[in-house]
Amino acid sequence: MANINRLLSLKLRTLIFGHPLASKNAEEAKVGVGGGVPVFGSDIISSEGYAPDEILYVLLLAGTLGYAYILKISMVIVLLVISIFLVYRKAIQKYPEGGGSYTIAKAYLGENFGLIAGASLTLDYVLTVAVSVSSAIENLTGIIPWLAPTEHKVLADCLVIMFMAWINLRGLKESARLFSIPVYLYITTLALLIGTGLAEILIHGVTPTAVATGQLASSSVSGMTWFILARAFAGGTTALTGFEAVSNGVTAFKNPSQKRAIHTLLILAIIVSLGLIGLTYLAGAYHLVPAEGNTVLNQLGLIIFGKTIPYFILMATTAAILVIASSTPYAGLPILLSLMARDGYTPRYFKNLGDRLVYSVGIWTLFLVSSLLIIVFRGDTHTMLPLYAIGVFISFTLTGMGLAKHTWKERGEKWQSDFAIFSFGGVVSFFVLLVFITTKFMQGAWIILVIMPLLVLMFRGIRYVYKMEIQDLKVTPEAADDFHKHVKKIKRRRAEAELADYKNKVIVPVYDLNLIVLKTLKYAYALTPQVTAVHIASDQIRTKKLLKHWAEQHIEIPLEIVESPYRATVQDLLKYIDKIEKNGHFDTITIAIPEYVPEKLWHNILHNQTGQLMKLMLLFRKSILVTSVPYHPVPKKELLLDSNDNRIN
């Protein structure tokens, strides 16, 4: 019956999430340039369609004079796009493992700046999901009146976020396949819109419509000012949100991953630059006025296409790409959290690959946090918008400044041009950041400035806890010597007995060699010499380290490596136990689980509770005995008195 239930559970899981992918097939699960554009570029592609609105909302404060500046603002934004492309191209070249702003800021500006970059990107990714989905649902309220009530809108937002999480849990290739058609159709229709519009103007000229029909709001400012230009420029730079994701996700591309990532970044830079210039030129030429529910893109579609099939395709793909834009964070944030987990700043389980070779814990976390954000803000896009884009410009600033500092320090061949590019990107991004904070502070931007330091403190707190645990659990020469003496003492006591006389087998699951494992092995060996340490090899790098440590400490207990091609640690351990049980050589089999008991209850959040899951899965196995060997850490005060920083690697 148990086997039938397990089979049904496996079939259901496969139906929902797809067949598990083996670690050796990791390259097949990655994407190329064609798949990278929709997966990592949907956010930036969707943003460019609304950048003209953000520019005009501000420029038209100066009246019709604003139309004379819209294209100039766009050209400056394109210069920033070029600079940011060159900055992140260098980042991809230097750091093939990914990480983008977090890795660069940490390496060249120090730990605190690295954590600020990590915190800012985390916030930006979460907000991107919430804002994109809520905006898409708001655009559908006119077509589907049922969505108008707040409760219905919040429910729809959460369901869409759940759908996006599900698609991304099925793997990057699944996401690329599903999103490619609407993304590329949107790009094609947008290019047709701009091309047709430019051709119409060249052939027939243009008649401005907005001013003639009195749609232009009354000017509240006399003449153009530098502050208005700065605000308009900052508003237009919302078209750049999403660039960071490519540099974070280098490892998600097929080999040569760096080359493919750079090509993807270049394509996105070209699409954004040409699209922004084309849309802003047309908006200025026709003297369009953005309005609630009637965007510049919608107005251009009606003017150029009329109510024809291309217009409806444009509007449909625009709505679709707003939803798809939330896919970029689902690709970027889990990779960022996995890199931070390897450095000890986020819980370790963020670095574990799921069944479909994606960082599933990061995807689930993004789903939960963004859904919570939707519920807290009741799905109101305008309430969340002031929080949006601040994080990404913090990361742009730190990346540019970090690379500029490194270039200045190294001063290699042709360093002057690199220094100029990196400095320009960093300084301009910092300027935009200041404008955003200044103009949107009272609208809610202050929340970001409060949450970010709290996130940095949380990252540092997690790192401190792990550091103390490593220090507490490190195998010292004294602990190793005590273990060897214990084994020798028991061996002498059993000298007259035959190994075959012992019918009780003890299996000790091990992840690493530390004091918890030594304590468990001592306990197991005191019961029987039939002890085997078992390591489920879901991570080859970890397995090599364990074998190295085992050999260095000359541990007498045999270590057996069980391959785990699908990274299903608990299931593979159960299969190993089944194999031992079927041999029939033992009357009893005991699983001795090393268990770390944190000093504080909340520290349990930082551990994946694999031991608890093992106990639960073995609970109904009649012939298997399960015992936990708890290890209580040394109180921090005692540990600090007896230690020094050199013991931490």
**Residue 626: enclosing H or E segment and its boundaries?**
strand 624-631
Is there a domain that residue 614 lies in?
Answer: yes
Count of structural domains, the chain:
2
Residues 372 and 502 in one domain: no
Residue range 142-178, pLDDT digits in tens = 667 888 788 888 999 999 999 999 998 888 888 888 8
Query: Does 534 share its domain with 453?
Result: no
C-alpha 300, offset from chain centre:
35
Task: Kindly report the CATH number assigned to the domain that includes residue 627.
Answer: 3.40.50.620
Q: Are residues 112 and 63 in the same domain?
A: yes
Instruction: Supply angle C-alpha 572, 576, 582, rounded to 5.
Output: 140
Q: How many CB atoms lie within 10 A of CB 222?
A: 9
Verify that 360 and 495 share a domain, yes or no: no
Tell me if 405 is assigned to some domain: no
Given 466, 487, 513, the domain boundary residue is 466
489 shares a domain with 523 = yes
Residue 340 and residue 459 in one domain: yes
The reply to whether 39 and 160 lie within a common domain is yes
Tens of pLDDT along 613-633? Answer: 888 888 777 778 999 999 888
The set of long-range contacts for 430-437, using a CB threshold of 8 Å and a minimum separation of 24, is 430/393, 430/397, 430/401, 431/230, 432/80, 432/233, 432/234, 432/237, 432/393, 433/390, 433/393, 433/394, 433/397, 435/230, 435/231, 435/233, 435/234, 436/234, 436/389, 436/390, 436/393, 437/390
What pLDDT, on the 0 to 100 scale, is given for residue 602?
Answer: 81
445 and 539 share one domain: no
- Gyration radius of the chain over CA positions: 29
Task: State the chain's maximal CA–CA distance in angstroms.
Answer: 107
Within-domain flag for 19: no
The answer on 506 and 459 residing in a single domain is no
495 and 449 within one domain? no
* Residues of the chain under the 70 pLDDT cut: 1-18, 21, 99, 139, 142-143, 208-223, 292-293, 382, 385-386, 635-649
SS3 of the chain: helix, strand, coil, percent, to 5: 70, 5, 20
Angle at 13 between CA 11 and CA 19, to 5 degrees: 80
Q: Based on the domain organization, do 461 and 481 belong to the same domain? A: no
Q: Do 526 and 629 share a domain, yes or no? A: yes
Please indicate, yes or no, if residue 207 is contained in any of the structural domains: yes
Cβ–Cβ under 8 Å, residues 387 and 127: yes
For 8-19, letters b (16+ CB in 10 Å) and e give: eeeeeeeeebee
pTM for the model stands at: 0.85
CATH number of domain containing 203 = 1.20.1740.10
pLDDT, residue 554, reads 92
| pLDDT on residue 242 | 78
Q: How many residues does the chain have?
A: 649
Instruction: Answer yes or no: is 417 within a domain.
Output: no
For residue 615, give its domain range: 477-647
Residue 208 is assigned to a structural domain of this protein = yes
Residue 15 lies in a domain: no
Q: H/E element holding 592?
A: strand 588-596
- Residue 330 within any structural domain of the chain: yes
